[in-house]
Chain A
Amino acid sequence: MKREVPLIITAVVGIMYIFQYFVPHEPVSRFSDWFSDWFGIIQAFAIWLGALNLMKLSLLKVARRKKDWMYSLVTIIGFAAIFIVGIFFSRGANFQEPGTRFMFIYDNVYDPLSSTMFALLGFFVASASYRAFRARNKEATMLLLAAFFVMLGRVPVGDMITKEWLQLPHWLWLSNWADWVMNIPNTAGQRAIMIGIALGIMSTSLRIILGIERTFVSGD
């Protein structure tokens, strides 16, 4: 039963979602709102399981002085600090208002740390591009050439070379080359991927609704 009940719920909910796409009338049109509300409620309870799991593992690591235990200590201190400040010292339910201690930590610790991680992307894009654009074979060389024209066509110097210096006809300006690459082959490739994804989602959904794919349901 532990396996069958979740499979039946999954199938019923899946079919209701499909039904809703074609039937806009109430109460059918409210199905997704109801399920979203339920999901939100379950999520709210489940967050405690996650938080407790994080604390349990971190405390055990510190208590047993496992390798790199000091990082876990930072996690525990950070968690406890934001939790205590948020609950007890930040105007209760209005903790997200400007000027609370919670928002002070958010603005001066969390936000800069988050931005720092995001900023790392700039460096990672450079290193990944360097590897991706090395002309190791035919495909990589085509990628390199396409990237070269698109990048150059997207900055003013691209058109300056083809328009001002070489005085080429309009269709040979680098900005037009870049637009062509982005609008024709790139869009075609993206659409092919999107059609494949849509079919993949449909196939997966059917497998789950019909109970053929049941890996995500425990059997014992």
Chain B
Amino acid sequence: MMKKALSISLFLLVFPVCGAASPAWAQDAPVDSTTVVVAETPPQLEAPAPVVSVEAQDTPDDAGKSITISWELSADDVAGRRNVTKYIILRSTSPDGPFDTVGSATAGMTTLTDGQVDNGVNYYYKVAALAGKFTPAGEKLFAGVASPLSGAAKASGQWFHIIRTARILPWVLVIGISILWFINVAKKGKDLYVRPIAGLAEVEQAVGRATEMGRKLVYIPGTQDMDNVQTLAGVTILGRIAKLAAEYDAQLDVPVSRSLVMITSREVVKEAYLNVGRPDAFNEDIVRYLTDDQFGYAAALDGLFVREKPATIFYMGAFYAESLIMAETGNAIGAIQIAGTANASQLPFFVAACDYTLIGEELFAASAYLSKEPKLLGSVKGQDVAKVLILIAAVAGLLLGTFKIADISGWFQV
């Protein structure tokens, strides 16, 4: 080992500097146009054609402290000539160096973002295309030449995300105004027609069934925490169903998988029981915590279903792989099951195992439907109108694209 190190040092002494266009041998070390690191025995490895053009500019639409470097591929990194293993990016605050390696990119890539810079400082970049090879001893060696210098680039933060503001904000405004307008119309007392949803029409019957059979009504508000909008929707629907359960004197059971969901759900159920004048029927253990663990929770619920055979089970919120484990067990015990989720990958499982399934947006509309409050129904109507607008845009885009008049797909990319 000592002998090898000494030998390398000797080579460095003998061949200290090569010209900018000379090939360089390196052992995973930075390659600069003016620095050469020499291996013990130079292998038969040719440096690929250098990158001839490098550009560096402030990364657009960001908080700053970031510069995007782009380069043209080496002439040896094109179809038929794949001699480049990777590119390494060298950076300096002075055009004269010294240059440090700040990142690498695989062959074929033409951009890299350097997120380790300070705002307001000029940075200069070079890119070296490297060819790599393993020696018989198992060491990986690289050969490459650095590109010419990029222009000076300075990082800064932007106050507005131009693309998002131009492409998304108009839609947000149009859809938001549509929803707000219908909420306002509903406030004024105008009757709004909102399309019926089969699953929600059966909720009352499902709660009544639990009362008639004298069995439990189990409500599961998803398996995610309160920072998930689906859980929020699930807890909101729980409030409506708890009211029905209190009115029908059904035995409500809400086993949850998150502590914060337990606390919030408990408040919601308590409020529902108070609102229908049944504070005596409320018991805080109606809402209970089981476990945060995904499959532990599924196992606990499966056990509950099999032992206590609830008459009705609601699944409303975000679910993952546990959805089918629970829904199939519920199906096997003959419970009426109504599910709702916005996790598209779990919808087929619920559709196959449950009696009714609220698909995606219906989960978010469910609370408004069940409450029958005009203001909430107004928001659902606004949502439907927004959907019509999007449908019109989709059909317009389809026609424009099909007849090669214009391609507007880029308008929606952010």
Contact = CB atoms under 8 A, between A and B. Distances in A.
Q: Do A and B come from one complex?
A: yes
B360 A196 contact: yes
Contact of A199 (B236, B348, B383): B383
Contacts, number: 195
Nearest to A127: B328
Given A196-B361, A216-B239, A118 B321 contact: yes
A113 B349 CA distance: 23
Interface stretch (B10-18, B123-131, B226-234): B226-234
Q: What is the interface of chain B mostly: helix, strand, loop, or mixed?
A: helix
Contacts of B321: 118, 121
Given A54-B290, A197-B342, A24 B379 contact: no
B216 to A, nearest CB: 13
A166 interface: no
Contact of A46 (B232, B263, B274, B294): B263
B293 A114 contact: yes
Interface stretch (B27-35, B36-44, B138-146, B159-167): B159-167
Contacts of B386: 199, 202
A202 B175 contact: yes
Contacts of A23: 159-161
Contact of A54 (B175, B260, B289, B327): B289
Most buried by A among B175, B359, B360: B360
Contacts of A204: 229, 232-233, 364
24 contacts: A25-B63, A25-B159, A42-B260, A51-B259, A71-B303, A114-B294, A114-B296, A118-B295, A121-B321, A132-B348, A190-B344, A195-B387, A195-B390, A200-B342, A200-B362, A203-B380, A204-B229, A204-B232, A204-B364, A207-B379, A215-B236, A215-B268, A215-B371, A218-B270
A175 B352 CA distance: 25
Interface stretch (B104-112, B176-184, B309-317): B176-184
Contact of B324 (A29, A46, A128, A190): A128
Contacts of B225: 39, 43
Interface string A77-107: 0000000000000000000000000000000
A153 B277 CA distance: 59
Contact of A43 (B164, B259, B348): B259
Nearest to B242: A215
Contact of A201 (B63, B229, B235, B371): B229
Interface in A23-66: 23-26, 29, 39, 42-43, 46-51, 53-54, 57
Interface residues of A, number: 60
B346 to A, nearest CB: 12
Contacts of A200: 342, 360-365, 383
Nearest to B373: A212
B64 interface: yes
A193 B291 CA distance: 31
B229 A124 contact: no
B264 interface: yes
A220 B62 CA distance: 44
Contacts of A51: 259, 289
Interface of B: 61-64, 157-161, 164-165, 168-169, 172, 175-176, 179-180, 183, 225, 227, 229, 232-233, 235-236, 239-240, 258-260, 262-264, 267-268, 270-271, 274, 285, 288-296, 298-299, 303, 307, 321, 324-325, 327-328, 331, 342, 344, 347-349, 351-353, 359-365, 367-368, 371, 375-376, 379-380, 382-383, 386-387, 390
Given A22-B165, A48-B259, A216-B236, 8 more contacts: A24-B158, A39-B227, A47-B259, A113-B295, A117-B295, A117-B299, A199-B383, A203-B382
Contacts of A50: 258-259, 262, 289, 292
A71 B290 CA distance: 13
A57 B298 CA distance: 19
A194 interface: yes
Nearest to B378: A212
B163 to A, nearest CB: 10
Interface in A164-220: 190, 193-197, 199-208, 210, 212-213, 215-220
Nearest to B59: A24
Given A117-B299, A202-B179, A216-B268, A46 B342 contact: no
Given A43-B260, A46-B263, A114-B293, A201 B359 contact: no
Contacts of B351: 132
Contacts of A121: 321, 324-325
Contacts of B295: 113-114, 117-118
A212 B368 CA distance: 10
A212 B376 contact: yes
A131 to B, nearest CB: 6
Contact of A216 (B157, B172, B264, B353): B264
A129 B342 contact: no
